Amino acid sequence: MSTIDYYDQNAQEYYERTVDADLAEIREYFLGFLRRDARILDFGCGSGRDAKAFAEAGRIVEALDGSQELCRIASEYLGMDVRNMMFQDFEETEAYDGLWACASILHLTYEEIMDVMKRIHGALKPQGVFYTTFKYGTFEGERDGRYYTDFEEKKMERLLAELNCFDLERMWLTGDALPGRHEGQWINVILRRKR
């Protein structure tokens, strides 16, 4: 079963489990880098939780996800269309002030992450801001029915050096935001488009 199949088959349960995760502090920090009229793309929006919070904060928001079922559920929750698209097919040019990829591109291989981050770079306006997060560690492979690429600081620094298209604004660790889950750590990064 592919990662997309997993989300299509478990979309309602995933929505119910994640829609109330408390990421308010991280979202506020991200918004602090952006103007009030910023255009934000929620890249791998899942339940639609963060896109909704950005819209409620007065930002112009778009959302996409690779799972057709999650797009359907998120569209209903948000009251707006959510694009169904594989990250590897994403191609836009200087369209967004901010791009939010919370626990989404972690389902790609390292090489795919490099390719998608180049696409994200191209989609950001000059000086645009990109937030993403990964499970903390060194694991790469299938876990719980999905593919994961975990990161720790050195691996993230290597990725950013290889890409050479983002400036690192901040890298930090957080605990798991899902209710009832306290065992995992996440590595978060805020990046700014270099050129």
Are 75 and 81 in contact by the 8 Å Cβ rule? The answer is yes
pTM > 0.75: yes or no: yes
Domain ranges of the chain: 3-193
The neighbouring-strand residues paired with 174 are 186
Q: Which is it for strands 166-175 and 185-193: parallel, antiparallel or unpaired?
A: antiparallel
pLDDT at 25: 96
pLDDT at 184: 84
pLDDT at 31: 98
How would CATH label the architecture of 3-193?
A: 3-Layer(aba) Sandwich (3.40)
DSSP states of 171-189: EEEEE--STT--S-EEEEE
Query: What is the rounded distance in angstroms from the CA atom of residue 84 to the CA atom of residue 51?
Result: 15
Q: Which parts of the chain have pLDDT scores under 50?
A: none
pLDDT at 178: 65
pLDDT at 194: 94
Are 50 and 27 in contact by the 8 Å Cβ rule? The answer is yes
